[in-house]
Homo-oligomer: A and B are copies of this chain.
Amino acid sequence: MVRVGKKYRFSASHRLHSPALSAEENRELYGKCNNPYGHGHDYVLEVVVAGAPDAVTGLVVRMGQLDEYVRREVISEFDHKYMNEEIEVFRDLPPTTENVARVIRERLVRGWRAAFPSSASLDSVRIHETRRNIVELGGDMKEAVTG
């Protein structure tokens, strides 16, 4: 079993705000991240794939195929977007890094087996919001947050 990780970058903006809380509770909870106009980050997304290297090719996954899949399912929808307004699920869900990671993981899980019929499986997803904050979802997560 070998784990292969690849990093992707996207720039996006967001506003942390929970519809279940009052304006004052939101301000107190999220501080300046609750600023009404939003603010942005350069996210680094690490996608980790696990499997046995193919005996002929020596690869767990063809990088070009993984790149194309991640760009189509995630990067094209998140890059240079204001998440609260432009990504449907974040109209009701606060786009915290935790939730961004869960939503991205679900999008990757959804079409995974069709795109990668080989033994390679999605192991984990890591998001670096800044150089100091990291969120990771291990390979065992099952439940979905989007419909």
Judged by a CB distance under 8 angstroms, whether A58 is at the interface is yes
Judged by a CB distance under 8 angstroms, whether A35 is at the interface is yes
Q: Which residues of A contact B (CB under 8 A)?
A: 1-7, 9, 11-14, 16, 18, 20-21, 29, 31-33, 35, 37-42, 46, 53, 56-60, 62-64, 79-82, 85-86, 93-99, 101-102, 130-138, 140-141
Q: Which B residue sits closest to A138, measured CB to CB?
A: B1
Q: Which B residue sits closest to A129, measured CB to CB?
A: B42
Chain B residues within an 8 Å CB radius of A35:
80-82
| Residue of B59, B82, B96, B140 touching A38 (CB-CB under 8 A) | B82
| Residue of B21, B37, B60 touching A81 (CB-CB under 8 A) | B37
Q: Which B residue sits closest to A32, measured CB to CB?
A: B80
The answer on a CB contact under 8 Å between A135 and B31 is no
- Minimum C-beta distance from A10 to chain B (A): 9
The answer on a CB contact under 8 Å between B96 and A57 is yes
